[in-house]
Structure 1
Amino acid sequence: MSTESGKRVRLGRIVGLHGVQGQVKLESWTEPRLQIFRYQPWLLTAPGIEREMSGIRGNAQGKGVVASLPGIADRDQAAALVGCEISVSRDVLPPPAQGEFYWVDLENLEVITTQDVSLGRVSHLFATGANDVMVVKDGDRERLVPFVQGLYVHSVDVDTGRIVVDWDPEF
């Protein structure tokens, strides 16, 4: 199962306005935070909004990030985009390092135990601060499995679509 064209990776969101010339404040989930400008075009999405945009420029502003969006020239136009999530095509991101994964590449993979018991498929992941957690769904049943390699996650094979975990199927 290779990376599918069309997969999107969320990189941040527009959280506010900056000045009167259409600049916006961003929450960037890239590391370092200014790396968000390296990956384009952006797809800005919110209820009722889906807009692709290239040529975005920005800089650090205190602890935040400020961006200038092409075609957005005043505060009212920028205000309409506050709350939009910023995503890019998976194809524009560099390959992950050995043993690292983009969450989008793990979604929908089958999760099986070391005893070959299927737990379901990865619905999504979330961060807890201590570690990432996979939400594994099998019908109506949902399991939360910490994504801790070596301890719980024994192997990830994106090509075959399987994650092997050391996890009690009854838990």
Structure 2
Amino acid sequence: MPSGLTPSGLPDDAIEVGRILDAWGVKGWLKVLPHSTDPEALFAAKSWFLQAPDAKFRPGFNAFSGTVAISIEEAKTHSDSVVAKVQGLDDRTAAEALRGARIFLSRSSFPAASKDEYYWVDLIGLDVVNREGVALGCVRDLMATGPHSVLCVEYTATQEDGTQAAAERMIPFVSVYVDAVDIAGKRITVDWQPDY
């Protein structure tokens, strides 16, 4: 196991936020592909948790097993990715060994969101209802479309033959359609009708 890695458990509130693309430079820096277009959580967290990549992504990965923790000395934006210096990881070969590793952060280490801003991870799983109280489904995912995000809401639909099947509706996540987001109450209220 490369130096700088400490065997660890994954926190209960762990969220996967990216993966290691490769080494960056010759002094042990890592090049990271964040899952978010706004990687502030990676910059704010001083400890990251790593797990091995899926075998299909990088067969033969053997830098470590289970979960390891790393301490971040510095993380910054570089081009379309993030680069980070890990305490105790001082050469390119050790950094290359981590290529493909999945990066997790404790949700509690994320910086606080501004008013009327939300982390996608906090929206997934919330129930969506319209102004009339009609249940529209549950947020299963979000999709970035450029100018705004779109809620991907899963619901059960009745088919022509009378059977029930999972269906999905898309609701733009913008103030003209979203009236309220209640994270604690696990509910999003929208100005949207079931037949849209």
* TM-score normalised to structure 1 length: 0.78
Among 26, 44, 48, the alignment partner of 1:38 is 44
Q: Which amino acid in 2 is paired with 1:148?
A: V
- Runs of 4+ off more than 6 Å: none
Which runs of 5 or more residues in structure 1 are unaligned? none
Alpha-carbon distance change, 170 to 8 in structure 1, aligned in 2, over 3 angstroms: farther
Give the whole-Å Cα distance in 2 for the aligned partners of 1:152 and 1:88. 31
Kindly provide the CA deviation profile for residues 81-101 of structure 1, in whole angstroms up to 9, marking residues without a partner as x: 223342311111232222111
Aligned: 1:143 with 2:172: no
Matched, 1:56 2:72: yes
Q: Distance in 1 between matches of 2:108 and 2:76?
A: 26
Q: State the alpha-carbon separation in 1 of the partners of residues 123 and 40 from structure 2.
A: 25
Closer/same/farther in 2, CA of residues 137 and 58 from structure 1, 3 Å limit:
same
Change (3 A) 1:73 1:51: farther
Does the CA contact (< 8 Å) of 2:24 and 2:83 recur in 1?
Answer: yes
| Deviation of 1:61 (Å) | 7.6
Checking the alignment, whether the CA contact within 8 Å between 2:128 and 2:135 is kept in structure 1 is yes
In structure 1, what is the equivalent of residue 145 of structure 2?
Answer: 128
Aligned to 1:152: 177
Query: 1:1-171 counterparts in 2 under 5 A?
Result: 6-28=12-34, 29=36, 31=38, 36-45=42-51, 46-47=53-54, 51-58=67-74, 60=76, 63=79, 65-70=82-87, 72-139=89-156, 140-149=166-175, 151-171=176-196
Structure 2 residue matching 1:94: 3-state secondary structure: coil
- How far did residue 118 of structure 1 move? 0.7
**Shift of residue 8, structure 1, vs aligned partner:** 3.2
- Which residue of structure 1 aligns with residue 160 of structure 2? none
Q: State the AA in 1 paired with 2:23.
A: L
Q: TM-score, structure 2 length as denominator?
A: 0.69
Paired-residue identity, %: 36
2:44/2:110 contact within 8 Å kept:
no
The 1:93–1:37 alpha-carbon spacing in structure 2 relative to 1, beyond 3 Å, is same
- The unaligned stretches of length 5 or more in structure 2 are 1-10, 56-64, 157-165
